[in-house]
Structure 1
Amino acid sequence: MLTNVNMGNDDRNHRQQTTTKSNKVGNRRNILIAIAVFLVSITAFGYLAHEVVQEKEDMFDSATFLLLAPYTNKFTLIIMRGFSFFGSHLFLLPAYALIVLTLCIKRHWRDAVIISAMAISSYALMLILKDYFHRSRPNLRLAQIVNNYSFPSGHAFSSFVFATMLIHLVWQSRWNNKEKYVLSALLVLFSAIIGISRIVLKVHYASDVIAGFCIGMAWIAFIVCLNALSPKPNNEKALPKTTTNDNK
């Protein structure tokens, strides 16, 4: 009887050790992928900053405006203004607050802290970058007057970070993998359309939007590395072994 208990405890402890090793391997893989994404994204961002801000190269931006010009009309402007709203602080701040509040109610403290830090740090980073690069906006804006600087696009950056955060929550849900992939793809597409809307409305150059997505990917990769390296609460404890007593 006691021997059977020992075997059961040993089996559970073995499974827990196997899970721990698997998690460590997964963390290493996530860190390596995140580092690769960070390096590629930050390199692309640096290249864009050099070309369009320092060298003032505008061929790509001008060509993009010309490409989108035939599709710019009253109807598309209304649609694009609607998409643009979802990348603004008027939407994102209440949305972040609601998500964090929901996570706190469900006692998902770690996710609540990570998402709060992600929201605050990304907003601060965007203000710093805009002020540093000091690039003026396009002259022929088709939306409301915007007083801050153009590079990189805050809407592209913020919408990408927000979409990535939602994808993280989707993959922690109980939906099946097919639903998770579909929702993830839709969120990425939605973020891309928000970026495109800023070009159509001519409040950003195309290079601003691409740079916003690049710095967004780099920032998410940085957060993934921090999350993978930070200690996680371990609620699972190994079961104590029971010694046998042959005299009984």
Structure 2
Amino acid sequence: MNLSPRKKKVADKVVILSKELIILIFVFTISLLGFLFIAYRVFYLDKTGADEKAFAFAHSLVSDRTTDIMEVITFFGSHYFMIPANVLLCIFFLVKKIGRYSIKVSAIALSSVLIMFGLKLLFNRHRPLIPLLAPAKGLSFPSGHAFMSVCFYGLLMIIIWKEEKSHPVLKWFLLILVIALLLCIGFSRIYLRVHYFTDVLAGYCIGSTWLFLSSYLIDRIQPAGLKKINNSPSMGGGKGEAA
């Protein structure tokens, strides 16, 4: 069956959308079920063996040099870094006239903060009693560092995956670098004994759940509003939006 160029283009977009939707549903389901499973084991079954083993492993690595490194790494998941990083990223996309990404960054950042605090209050788990350095404030489950890092760095990964097409080696290097940073941020919270292993794992799971769900929903509801913004004189007309 021969299709016209226009129909073929539409068909290709449908296939791409279907693949993205399947990936979204898979990641969303696995992440949500993972979070619920962790919460069930910790708060209903009172299973903490994984936390104790993680602390024992981290304790075997303790040294002054490692502690200094972990303090630097954990900074990149803190609100001291995340707030200005999100603001600067929004400004960057506004300057580049890529409105859809500036909206997505700000919407996911603000909504994830509300969800994180809501979950902490709901589960009301206290921090580990013997932090390596100074005690951390607030509640423990899920890890805010892990949750917010997945939302921020995970969004960066989505942008890199979609936009970096001309340099495959650079693309994969950046993706691997971001994944490594995410894992190191989570481990730093366990090493410093300000979070349990299950806090961090739950933060990764619920962060991934919200990132993919909110990213998908924002993509579905924002085009009409963005069209008005991009057609306004302040945005340089309809030619400013990147493909």
Determine if the alignment matches structure 1 residue 78 to structure 2 residue 68: yes
> 1:182 aligns to what?
173
Percent of residue pairs identical? 32
> 2:108 aligns to what?
118
> 2:26 aligns to what?
36
Tell whether the 8 Å contact from 2:157 to 2:175 is kept in structure 1 after alignment: yes
Q: Which residue of 223, 227, 236 maps to 2:214?
A: 223
Q: Please list, as runs of the form range in 1=range in 2, the aligned pairs for 1:78-117 lying within 5 A after superposition.
A: 78-117=68-107
**What's the offset of the Cα at 1:205?**
0.4
**What's the offset of the Cα at 1:175?**
4.5
Q: Could you say which structure has the larger radius of gyration?
A: 1
> 1:242 aligns to what?
none
Q: Pick which of 141-150 and 95-104 moved more.
A: 141-150
**What's the offset of the Cα at 1:165?**
1.5
Which consecutive residues of structure 2, in runs of 5 or more, have no partner in the other structure? 228-237
Q: Give the alignment's TM-score, normalised by structure 2.
A: 0.86
Q: CA 1:136–1:231 in 2, change beyond 3 Å: closer, same or farther?
A: closer
In structure 2, how many angstroms separate the alpha carbons of the residues matched to 1:159 and 1:230? 25
Task: List structure 1 segments (4+ residues) > 3 angstroms apart after TM superposition.
Answer: 13-17, 227-236
Q: Please list, as runs of the form range in 1=range in 2, the aligned pairs for 1:1-248 lying within 5 A after superposition.
A: 14-171=4-161, 172-173=163-164, 175-227=166-218, 229-230=220-221, 232=223
Q: CA 1:40–1:184 in 2, change beyond 3 Å: closer, same or farther?
A: same
Say which SS state the counterpart of residue 71 (structure 1) adopts.
Answer: coil
Say which SS state the counterpart of residue 60 (structure 2) adopts.
Answer: helix
**What's the offset of the Cα at 1:177?**
1.4
Supply the AA of the counterpart residue of 2:56.
L
**What's the offset of the Cα at 1:24?**
2.1
Deviations, residues 25-59 of structure 1 (Å, cap 9, x unaligned): 21122112111111111111111111112332211
In structure 2, how many angstroms separate the alpha carbons of the residues matched to 1:16 and 1:164? 34
RMSD value, Cα: 2.1
**What's the offset of the Cα at 1:19?**
2.6
Supply the AA of the counterpart residue of 1:138.
P
Which consecutive residues of structure 1, in runs of 5 or more, have no partner in the other structure? 1-12, 237-248
Matched length: 224
Higher relative contact order (CA 8 A, sep 6+): 1
**What's the offset of the Cα at 1:16?**
4.3
